[in-house]
Each structure stands twice: as C-alpha cells, then as structure tokens.
Amino acid sequence: MPAQVLAWAGVGIVAATSTGILLAREWRWHLGLMAAQYLGAAVLASGHWPLGMAAALLVTGWMTIAALGMTLTALPSQIDPTERSWPQGRAFRLFMAGMIFVLAAGLTGRGQSSVAGIGAPAVAGSVLLAGIGFLQLGTSSQITRIIFGLLTVLAGFEVFYAAVEGSILVAGMLSVVILGLGLVGAYLLNASFPEDAA
C-alpha cells in the first residue's frame, strides 16, 4: 500500500510539474519544474526498476537540467519573434493540459489491463508526461521549449518502458540519450546566439 501511495504521489508530481512547465514563461521556472518532474518520473520508475536504476534516471535528468541551466544562465535573455504566432494564452494551454488529463484518465484503465503488472500510476504518469511533452513540441518553436518537450516525452516513455524492460544496458543507453539531448540542446542554444551578443 505505501508503494501505491508513493506511486500516486509520483503521478501528482509529474502532473503538477508538466502542467507548470506548459504554463510558465520564465526559463528559471522551467528548470526547477523539470528537475522536480524527474523526481516524479524516478519515483514512478522505482516501482518497476531497482532503486539504483531509478536513481540513475533521476541523476541523469538533473545533470541534463544542470547543463541546460548553465547554458541559459550564460546567455542574454531574448524572446524568439516567431513565438508570437503560436497559441500563447494560459487559458488555452490549461485547456489543452486538461485534455491530456482526460486522456490519461481514460487510458489508465485500459493500459493497466493490457500490460500485465504495470500498474495504474505508471500508465497515468507516462501518458501525462508524453502528452504534455507533445503539447510543448506542438505549441512552440523555441529551442528551449522543444528540448524540454523532448525530455518530457522521453521521461514519459521511460516511466512506461521501465515497467516492461529491466535491462541495465537499455537503462544506461537511455540515460546517455537523455544526457546527450541535454548537451545538444545546450549546444543549439549557444549556437543560436552570436558570440558578441553573449
């Protein structure tokens, strides 16, 4: 029972943080919420993976956020002019997040019955993360948001995949991919600003 409570707490964390990332406009908030989101994802993954592997997911996520954070701190603030053409209203984003919540609620029961032993929290958490990650990808053209969107989708995938695959090699390679994505994101952010502007 305590494990279930912990798992649902993980769902609560990822629900709150992913929605927060969608609504927040300040990158500092994004970083903090992403870090908390990895905590939620690690809690959900720990239901199926040994604690060490789940901790590796958490540490990798935080290292990725740290790399992005260091890059963003060093860059001048700039608003991407193309961003103005995207739907920006908080009400709209909240509505879309609500749709993902409804989708997650609908899929949780079906996913639980389709995949033996996965558990409702892992299905709910993974659908929420992947759904809101796709929403971020679809509603922004800023590199920061796209990288956060991809990281969110991958976090959702990891939560689900942890329930069906326990290989250390896969977990290790997924960590390398997440860290690599963070580093590539940091590189792209750096490259998008001319050196004299930084």
Partner 1 sequence: MSAPALWIAVPLVVGAMALLLSTERAAALVGGLTCLTLALIALVVPIDAALLFGPFSLKIGSTASLLGRSLVIPASEAPLLAMLFGLGAMWFFGAEAAGVAHRLVPVGMMITGLLIASLAVQPFLYAALLIEMAALAAVPLLAPQGKAPGRAVVKFLTYQTLGMPCILLAGWLLAGVETSPGDLVLTIQATVMLSLGFAFLLAIFPLGDWIPGLMEESHPYVTGFVLWLLPNTILVFGLSFLDSYAWLRASPEIVSGLRSLGLIMLVSGGIWSALERNLGRMMGHAAVAETGLIFLATSLATANGSDTIFPFFIPRGLGMALWALSLAVVHRENAALDFSTLKRIGSTHPWAGAGLVLASLSAAGFPLLAGFPPRIDVWNGLAHVSGSSALWFLLGLTGLMIGAVRQLALVVGASSEMPTFPQEDVLQRGMLAAGMLALVVLGLYPRAASFLIVRLPLMFEHLAR
Tell me which amino acid residue 18 is: S
Helix 27-45 and helix 51-74: axis angle, to 10°?
Answer: 170
Report in angstroms how near the CB of residue 2 gets to partner 1 at its nearest: 29
Site string for partner 1, 118-147 (x = CB under 8 A): -------------------x---x-x--x-
Residue 172 engages partner 1 in binding (rule: CB under 8 A): yes
Q: What share of the chain is helix, strand, coil (3-state, %, to 5)?
A: 80, 0, 20
CA gap 5, 154 in Å, rounded: 24
Stretch 64-93 residues interacting with partner 1 (CB under 8 A): none
The region of 26-34, 38-46, 65-73, 153-161 touching partner 1 under the rule CB under 8 A is 153-161
Q: Select the residue interacting with partner 1 from 7, 96, 135, 154 (CB under 8 A).
A: 154
Tell me which amino acid residue 60 is: T
Residue 184 engages partner 1 in binding (rule: CB under 8 A): yes
CA gap 60, 29 in Å, rounded: 19
Report in angstroms how near the CB of residue 177 gets to partner 1 at its nearest: 5
CA gap 185, 191 in Å, rounded: 10
- Check if the beta carbon of residue 186 is closer than 8 Å to that of residue 144: no
Residue 57 engages partner 1 in binding (rule: CB under 8 A): no
Q: Which residues bind partner 1 (CB under 8 A)?
A: 137, 141, 143, 146, 150, 153-154, 157, 160-161, 164-165, 167-170, 172-174, 176-177, 180-181, 183-184, 187-188, 190-195
